């Protein structure tokens, strides 16, 4: 795995965790919305083009022209949100006659979102985001140290 593949993998993780936090935020925001169903992120493996392919495409040249310059031939891996599922569990029924969504008996199905469970999910997403961010910071530090090798006193 090359330096750029490492950054791509961490970036994929950052993007997936950000999307997960958005889904959890939506759930929390709709916790008291009647009839709202909790959404859940399902992660999958992401395989992207090698860095050299992406760069060649952006520069409008053939990949073979870049192969001597770049060694990023390993596809970047990581995770992404493969799909978003809706939790079909019914919410609690509350007696609210006259509510627009009330059934014939006057009951309204509330949201099936558990705010405490969503807060735990948000903490997991935040920790995973921070872990991916620390990978990016370590890679930046390693690159900085590598560039300083040839400098006097470095």
Do 109 and 88 contact (CB within 8 A), yes or no? no
At residue 45, the pLDDT reads 82
Per-10-residue mean pLDDT, the chain, length 154: 78 93 97 96 77 67 59 64 95 94 95 96 96 91 86 71
Query: What's the pLDDT at 36?
Result: 97
Residue 70: predicted pLDDT: 55
CA distances from 72 to 10, 64, 76 (A): 15, 12, 9
pLDDT at 75: 55
What's the pLDDT score for residue 47? 65
Q: Which of these, 98, 95, 88, 92, lies nearest to 110 by C-alpha position? A: 92
- Predicted confidence at residue 46, as pLDDT, reads 77
**Separation CA 46–CA 53 (nearest Å):** 16
Give CA separation, 10 vs 31, 81, 89, 111, 138, in Å.
31, 14, 34, 34, 11
- Model-level pTM? 0.75
């Amino acid at each position: 795995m090359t330096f750029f593949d490492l950054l791509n993998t961490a970036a994929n993780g950052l993007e997936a965790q950000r999307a997960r936090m958005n889904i959890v935020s939506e759930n929390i925001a709709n916790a008291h919305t009647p009839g709202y169903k909790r959404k859940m992120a399902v992660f999958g493996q992401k395989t992207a083009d090698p860095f050299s392919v992406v760069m060649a495409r952006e520069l409008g040249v053939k990949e073979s022209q870049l192969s001597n310059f770049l060694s990023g031939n390993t596809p970047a891996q990581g995770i992404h949100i493969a799909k978003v599922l809706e939790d079909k569990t019914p919410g609690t029924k509350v007696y609210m006659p006259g509510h627009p969504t009330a059934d014939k008996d006057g009951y309204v199905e509330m949201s099936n979102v558990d705010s405490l469970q969503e807060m735990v999910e948000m903490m997991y997403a935040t920790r995973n985001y921070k872990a991916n961010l620390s990978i990016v910071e370590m890679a930046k530090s390693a690159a900085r140290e590598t560039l300083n090798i040839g400098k006097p006193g470095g």
